[in-house]
Amino acid sequence: MAIVERPRRLRATAPLRRLVAETRLNPAELILPMFVREGIDAPVPISSMPGVVQHSLDSFKSALQDAASAGIGGVMLFGVPVHKDAVGSGATDENGILNVATRAAVAEVGDALVVQTDLCLDEFTDHGHCGVLDAAGRVDNDATLLRYQEMALAHAAAGSALIGLSGMMDNQVEAVREALDGAAYSDTAILGYAAKYASSFYGPFREAVDSSLQGDRRTYQQDPANRREGLREARLDIEQGADVIMVKPAMSYLDVLSDVSAISDIPVWAYQVSGEYAMIEAAAAHGWIDRERAILESIVSIRRAGADAVLTYWATEVARSLNGGSLNGQ
């Protein structure tokens, strides 16, 4: 039997497989989400995310140095405040935990990493929603945009190089761009969470930020059933001046990520969210999957689908592995 094509030839050895690999990982394409908690003097483990902690300011600085030495691309900062209120006042307080942490990060590693900040009110509101509420208890889109503008200016003043707009309010990119440019922060970049879905995979994140959420976020985050809507949101963010756009979550939305990547002329990132992390860690802890292979395969799949960079809680660990170490740091 004459077999004309033999694709297996290029799979025969590890060097061959490495040589012809279509998708590669580089530490610079990885971004580490980090949680900094107010009022603690030692890191607090997050039970649903083994290996991830709420940092004290001291442990935060040490972790930043580790991330910088591993050569990752940047860090995305989330603040966990002691006090919350209806409008998320702590988000715009220059002495609020996120703004304090941002200044600390810039001072510590600002010349080595892109210091990015999450612009959303959910960590700071006593109701846990991503915006301010109207008299009927609904998220008021336009009133929230005013708070986002104030928050963006606070982040920029603290030194954030890139502000991640994760709230999914209509017109949030244009509103924030207008505020930044009007205050002479035209060099501060915007990451638009363009296609952010109302996902069950955010569960562990709620613990990570001590969420006070009452109800759900389905009136502003996207319906998981909708694919074309992700493209619509991406186009709007690009038109409004986003410098980078995001698909979130990643692994359950690789089709959306591929669609968005195909139409975007700006960088497209994806967020490998807390639930994705927790599932792999839990299965590996039970011996059901090979932890190292599953982690790398998951991130490669996100890059293969079109992400130019990936936010992942394994960023530092994977970067060390790519630099010749191993995923457990040994």
Query: Looking up tokens 């920029």, which residue turns up?
Result: 156
Residue 176 in contact with residue 186, Cβ under 8 Å? no
Residue 116 in contact with residue 161, Cβ under 8 Å? yes
- Distance (Å, whole) CA 192 – CA 307: 14
Residue 86 in contact with residue 108, Cβ under 8 Å? no
**End-to-end CA gap in the chain:** 49
Q: Which of 88, 67, 50, 76 is nearest to 283 (CA)?
A: 50
- Distance (Å, whole) CA 44 – CA 279: 20
| Residues annotated as part of the active site | 196, 248
Distances (CA, A) of 93 to 17, 35, 124, 145, 154: 52, 18, 11, 17, 7
- Distance (Å, whole) CA 285 – CA 101: 32
86 CB-side CA count, 13 A: 8
- Distance (Å, whole) CA 282 – CA 128: 27
- Distance (Å, whole) CA 185 – CA 154: 11
| Three-class secondary structure of residue 239 per DSSP | helix
Assess whether the previous peptide bond of 249 is cis (omega < 30° from 0). yes
